[in-house]
Amino acid sequence: MSYFNLWLTGLSGSGKTTIAEKVSDCLTDVSINNEVLDGDVYRAFLSPGAGYSEKERNAFRKKVIVLAGIFNKHDISCIIAMLSSSQSVRTLARQELSNFVEVYVKCPIEVCIQRDPKGIYQRRNKGEMTSVVGIDIPYEEPISPEIIVETEKLSIDSTSEIILDKLKNLHLLKE
């Protein structure tokens, strides 16, 4: 097998998308076929009109898992940047996808609220939005991720280096 599935999980604003894009660029630079499956981007066309109930969120996540499997059949590694707040969804992904590497993009909620790149926390505070993970819905921290990166303490370059080094140590990337 020449592919892997890098699953980045963490609160909104923790840095999942930024990390996914940086790691993708590094992989592309060394001619490794990869696709970033960003939850926000793919939700728009895989589950248009879906709400944010747990049932709707899980249905969308399962679609992403299937999509990653399709990419894998063509030796394309997937970098999945998705909040994926429940351990059960991440466990399902681990069972369904080969060469699965879970990355916990750890960041305190206070820092995520300050960053708030999508305005989710601001809309929540104005009462325009409910069901925000980390405030209204619990985020279940990963039990045993292969990688933990604390984005309030690390630069994007350091974070990417940690992830790429781990992929090499797991023999999923050539030295």
**Strand intervals (E) in the chain:** 5-9, 34-38, 77-81, 100-106, 147-150
Q: Are 23 and 6 in contact (CB under 8 A)?
A: yes
d(CA 10, CA 142): 9
What's the DSSP call for residue 119? S
CA distances from 4 to 57, 72, 102 (A): 24, 8, 11
**Is 84 considered catalytic here?**
yes
| Bridge partners, 147 (sequence order) | 103
**Strand intervals (E) in 41-166:** 77-81, 100-106, 147-150
Q: Which of 24, 77, 84, 86 is catalytic?
A: 84
d(CA 67, CA 116): 28
Closest CA to 101 of 157, 148, 147: 147
Among all residues, which ones are annotated catalytic? 84
